[in-house]
Amino acid sequence: MNEEPLRQRIGVYGGTFDPIHNGHLKVAEAISNAFALDRMLFVVSAIPPHKRKQAIGSPFHRLAMAALATAHSPQMFVSTIELESPSRPYTIETLERLRTELQPVRLLFVMGADSFKDVTSWYEYERILSEYDVIVATRPGYRNDENIAANLAPQLQTRVVDLRGGGSPFGAGLTGENIESPHIYLTDYVEVDVSATGIREAVAQGRSVGDLVPPPVASYIEKYKLYRNS
């Protein structure tokens, strides 16, 4: 029997979210629609290993802004799983925990093209890319025809499904007989030229970020005087 209808499809969007912005939200919405996700979980990270040298906003503020940005949506949720962990978990550990806690579930890990280009430096990245579905969202600066999976080992490259140009995952691996085998989906449903770095810089320079983050997040940044000295 095909057990797929019993398993919820949950997107897992990890990040520092310092702050969460319209790029994250538009990507999440487009991917949720295209992959018919039941839920998208924004997993606010503790200090990621590759960012430890930079100043990072308080986890409480980062979480609060993510919660405000997703409060209106019945499908978008914020997860505290990494912030509550006594150790700073790696992505593979978070995915394993979520899979255990939420089963039966199919987890689809979402990342931007910039993160995917660096993924080979992540702890146990081969397991992330072979045991879980991964959805890569394009980001301005990454050409559409660029082979961003080029530095992966051949057996991982065979998992790549290029949906760029408007392809749908249905019929491209998400259903069918190879259902148990996860894929790496390259997507370009939306291209949003916003980064948290740009937002922190704009706030520090006294510029408005009202068109880069949802209104409650803009108000929150203002109210708590975040990023003024970035």
Under the rule (CB under 6 A), what is the footprint of ligand ATP?
15-18, 23-24, 27, 111-112, 114-115, 137, 139, 192, 194-197
Helices 22-34 and 59-70 pack at an angle, to 10 degrees, of 50
Scored b (16 or more CB within 10 A) or e, 64-83 reads: bbbbbbbeeeebbbbbebbb
Q: Is the C-alpha dihedral spanning 5, 71, 132, 162 positive or negative?
A: positive
* Residue nearest ligand ATP (C-beta atom): 112
In eight-state DSSP terms, residue 138 is P
Q: What share of the chain is helix, strand, coil (3-state, %, to 5)?
A: 35, 15, 50
| 65 contacts: CB under 8 Å, gap ≥ 6 | 17, 19, 20, 213, 217, 220, 221
181 or 205: CB nearest ligand ATP: 205
Helix (H/G/I), strand (E/B), else coil: 61 = helix
> In terms of CB distance, is 17 or 174 closer to ligand ATP?
17
Instruction: Name the minimum Å distance from CB 193 to ligand ATP.
Output: 7
Q: Shortest approach of ligand ATP to residue 85 CB, angstroms?
A: 18
How far apart are CB 175 and ligand ATP at their closest, in Å? 26
Residue 45: closest CA among 96, 107, 88, 75: 88
Q: Identify which of residues 113 and 156 has a Cβ nearer to ligand ATP in the complex.
A: 113
Give 157 or 195: the residue with its C-beta nearer to ligand ATP. Answer: 195
Nearest residue (CB) to ligand ATP, 149 versus 154: 149
Closest approach of Cβ 215 to ligand ATP, in Å? Answer: 18
Minimum distance of ligand ATP from residue 188's CB (angstroms): 10
